[in-house]
Every structure is written in C-alpha cells, then in structure tokens.
Structure 1
C-alpha cells in the first residue's frame, strides 16, 4: 500500500491504522529502497507513506514505481490518497502551528494556503490514479478507522469489497460514497408514535415500510441495476465500492434497505461490510432501540457520488454535488 495525499489530511493516521491491521509500515522511504524491499517479498504486507516531504519527490517517479511493481508476479500495489478541504487543512495547521512542507516560509495564513495549493497541484496526477481517495474533511478518527478496516482488513483476499452504508441526508452526504440511493419517497415510520423510537432493524418498522406500494418495485429495480453493475466495476479493477442508502433521519428506511442490500450482496458472493452511520452516533442512540425486535445480522460479509433519487414525497428541494 502506498499512502500519499495532502499534508494534514491524515496520512500518518492511515499508516498507523494499517500497522494495527498487520502491515509493516515505513514513512517516506527513498523509492529505490522501497522497491527493493517490496521485490524481496515476504509474508508481511507493506504500507509506505510517500509524499512531497521526500527529497527530490516527483509524481512521475511514484507512478513509474507503481507501473513496475504491477509487472511483478504476486505483487498488487495499491495507492491510497488522503485529501481534505482547504479550510479544514488551514485550521489543522493553525491549531498545531506546524509549517506546511511546501509553504514559502512562515507557517500560518496565506503562506500555508500557498503551500496547500502547490501540493495539490503537484499530487493531482496521483489523486487521479488512486485506488482509494479518502476525504477526511469532516471524518472523525473512529470513522476513518472504520473505513480503513473495512477496505483493508482482508487485504490478502482478492476481489472487490462492497461497503453498504445508511445515513441521514440532513447530516450530509457520505464523502466516500460511490452510489447514493435516496429513500425519502417511501412512507416514513417517524410519523407513527409507536414506531418512531425503533429502527429499521425492527420487524414492525420493516413491515410498515414494506407495505408501501412503491417498495417492491423499487427493490426489484435497484437490485436489477446493481447485480450486473458490480461485476463490471470489479472487472475494471475497482477494489472498493461504497453504496449509501439515505433517508431523513437515517434510522428507519435507510437502515432497513441497507440491511436487506447487504444480505442480498452477501448471498451473491460479495465481501460486504454494513454500517449504520447515524445509529453509531451518540445522538442517534435511543433507549427503546435495544430489544426492539429481532435484528438482522449486523454484518453480511472515491470522485463525486452518483445520486439516484426516485421522485416522490419528501423529495429534496435541491441537491448539490
């Protein structure tokens, strides 16, 4: 694993998380030394941080290294690119009072912004070819760790890994999503006082949603779309795919559909990780959630997201990429 990206975007954190998963990690080794170590082989996977701090760093050299390693039998190098919004990076550098490695002197204000812009331009070709682009702008460390574990925990297993995620639209689109399905056209259990404190994993909530006449046609069309689509993504070399299911509260409709989709994909032989974003946040934990019913299994196994938003009630008034 080659880990690169913008300074302050979390490369060091990603390396530490990979180390926890059993990778042998090294930060900013000379590329010639790294290539020699990788070619020597061994049973322990290697994760290396490579960025603009390396003396004589050239984007073309990193891309050439990846090309050479891909020609070696038994080696499947992957490139992880960490990024974040400029405002977030500026705040992080301000809080730590660290100097940006490409800033033209000084450590704060416009000079840091200049360094961020220079680094982004320098690394842009690597972002274009990265196997995984991870945006940490509003990603807490526990959520970053979850993403890293989902994607790289079974790094020795071939094939594409699929992450299924439920979320609430008002709390923001998941930045890691490749495909987003908007479920706000389905009937909402929130307006039933008896169902409001429960979740989509509860049988009563599931029955309520599935009674909607639009549910079965949508489910059939969604799975008919995804079943042939996923093998094509895998055939093109995509290593990770995140399918996000959104509703208003991220607690009922999206949770049910995410559970169902994860089970459906697992039956189809895909490696699947299931996460309910809002249920893992403290404000989403309700005292009635525990023991609400017989829950389904918790686990059944980068660029702008493609938004699939069926028309219907509760449709969003606007949508921005």
Structure 2
C-alpha cells in the first residue's frame, strides 16, 4: 500500500472525515479523440484503478462489488472510461446511471468530460488515419457533429469539463493530479489558467479576468522574446502604476469567494487570466496569483495555455 493510498483525513477533535470513507469513482467521458485513454492512463499513474469501455449495464454490477471493505478509503479509487462507442450507450441512459451512482452514499462520484475543438479533432484523425467511430463511411466532420449532439446533455451534467485542444500529455496529467491527487488536499481544487484572447476564451473557465489594460511588454524589443515567467517581464509589469491596485482588488475579490464556493459544494474552480497574446501579462499575473494563493495554504494548479504561441 502506498502512502497516498493510506491517507485518511482526520477532522479537528480526532474524528475521521466521513467523506474519506466514500470510495471515489471518476467517470471519464467526452468526445472521441479528446484524450479519454490518455486521461485514464494519467489517473492510473497517480494511483487509480482504470477500466475502459465497460458496457453501461455492467457498471452497476461492478460498483455493487465495491465498498465492501470496512474502510473503503484504504482501497484504490476507480476511474471508468465511457464514450459513445461503449456498448449500450445513450446520452439519457448514461445520465441516469451517473445520477444513480451519485445517490449511493458509499461512493463519491465525479463525472469528467473531455472536450476539444472540432478542427483539432479533425487534424488528429487525419494525422493518425483513423476513422471516426460515428462516421465509418462518411467524412470525419460528420462523425464529430453527430457525437457532439449525442454528448451535449452529458457535457451539461459533467462536474468537470477539460478542454484538451492545446493540452500536452504532461499538462493533462498535472491537471488531473491537481484535481484528483490522492494526498489530503483542500475541498476546492483551484486551477489558474493564463490564455490569449486571440485564441478564444477557455471553455473550462469559471471566472475570467482581462489584464489587457496593463502596459504590454511586447512593445519593448528587449522583452518581446521573453515571457511572463521571466523576471525582467515581471518587473516591468509590476512597475505599471495600474498593477498594484488591480492585484490588491483581484485578491480581495477572490479570497472571500473561495469558502462560499466550498459551502455550496463546488469541488473545482478554474480562474482564467487573459491578455492579447497570452505570453506576457496574463502569464505573469496568473503566476503571481497562484503564488499568492499557495502562500495562504491553497493547493493550486498553474497552467499557461498559450505561452508557446507567437508573442503579441
């Protein structure tokens, strides 16, 4: 048994947190080509028992066999991969199954939906020369459209939506570890995400802050090739007279919101910081905000979606 497997959170006064006695089941679904198998492998690497493409009507039988130990938290949590190819799949049937599982107090059930831009999905199928499972004899785009319509109600039901359009495998693993790591962690899993408005709003964002009002280091030839992760860029942004008041207001706004989200039962919160090119201002502000939250005891996953793109 690993150290992570043996973590049982204890409340003040020495009582075991009852949530730790509920075995965690993660249902991983989404669009074909968005990375379900990769996500399952990542979850397996951080300590989950991963099972893919089990027929829907067999899942209740599998779940019925779980939670039999006197201390279920001492057993591995489960990650189940399910998509439109799964035997017996239908959107409404899958949602009914999810709600049925969530009603069982022995388990803590999380539905994760992997999304991706249509053009990226087309490129992935073209590069791998695979046929889309819902368009065996038609263009890939037809299969993507059909599946998106089929999965729309499932996406609406999801507890967590992850857009993998620009996500490397290492970043996906980091995101999943941040949300579902087995070590004891605060109730609310925080992700701070920098992005470029040129590339569009991140679909997974809960809160979005625009820092394009700050002076842009892109117009300084010495800073242009750098990013917000470089100290020189950070010093330039902090020297902007508008920055100190903005950052103080940002943290003052966010800090009291976090316990409110937790009180409402929210488990995941993605805070997105955007600028024009997603390379200088948003990257620096996102990093500084992540550091500020960590200094106050919060567990934070930091991700820079567009820092590798052309500066702007």
What range describes the TM-score normalised by the shorter chain of this pair? 0.7 to 0.9
Question: Equivalent of 2:77, from 26, 39, 45?
Answer: 45
Give secondary structure in 2 for the equivalent of 1:78: strand
Residues 183 and 267 of structure 1, relative CA distance in 2, 3 Å threshold:
same
| 2:186–2:299 contact (8 Å) kept in structure 1 | no
Q: Which residue of 2 aligns with 1:83?
A: 115
CA deviation map 1:281-320 (0-9, x unaligned): 4978xxxxxxxxxxxxxxxxxxxxxxxxxxxxx9xxxxxx
Please tell me the root mean square deviation across aligned C-alpha atoms, in Å.
3.1
Note if 1:59 corresponds to 2:84.
Answer: no
Q: CA deviation at 1:93?
A: 3.3
* Contact 2:191/2:271 (8 A) holds in 1: yes
**Which stretches of structure 1, 4 residues or longer, exceed 6 Å deviation after superposition?**
none
CA distance in 2, matches of 1:114, 1:204: 48
Distance 1:191 1:117 in 2: 41
Distance in 1 between residues matched to 2:145 and 2:198, nearest whole Å:
30
**Structure 2 gaps, min length 5:** 1-25
Structure 1 residue aligned with 2:14: none
Partner of 1:25: 50
Residue correspondence of structure 1 range 4-23 to structure 2 within 5 A: 4-23=29-48
**1:224 and 2:252 correspond:** yes
Secondary structure of the 1:38 match is coil
**Separation in 1, partners of 2:228, 2:117:** 33
Question: Normalising by structure 1, what TM-score?
Answer: 0.73
Structure 1 residue 156 displacement after superposition:
5.7
Q: CA deviation at 1:129?
A: 1.2
Q: Distance in 2 between matches of 1:121 and 1:282?
A: 31
SS at match of 1:72: coil
Q: What is the aligned partner in structure 2 of residue 102 from structure 1?
A: 134
Quote how far apart the aligned CAs of 1:74 are. 4.8
Task: Decide which moves more: 147-156 or 265-274.
Answer: 147-156
CA contact (8 A) 1:21 1:149 kept: yes
What is the aligned length? 280
Q: 1:135 to 1:243 in 2, by over 3 A?
A: same
2:21 aligned residue: none
CA contact (8 A) 2:34 2:114 kept: yes
1:239-285 deviation per Cα after TM superposition (whole angstroms, max 9, x unaligned): 22222223345444333322321122224432112234455x4978x
> Residue 269 of structure 2 is aligned with which of 236, 241, 256?
241
**What is the TM-score normalised by the length of structure 2?**
0.75
> Aligned to 2:145, which of 99, 110, 117?
117
**Unaligned stretches of 5+ residues in structure 1:** 285-313, 315-321
Partners of 1:139 and 1:14 in 2: CA distance: 11
Deviation of 1:168 (Å): 4.0
Query: Judging changes above 3 Å, is the alpha-carbon distance between structure 1 residues 57 and 265 closer, same or farther for their aligned structure 2 residues?
Result: same
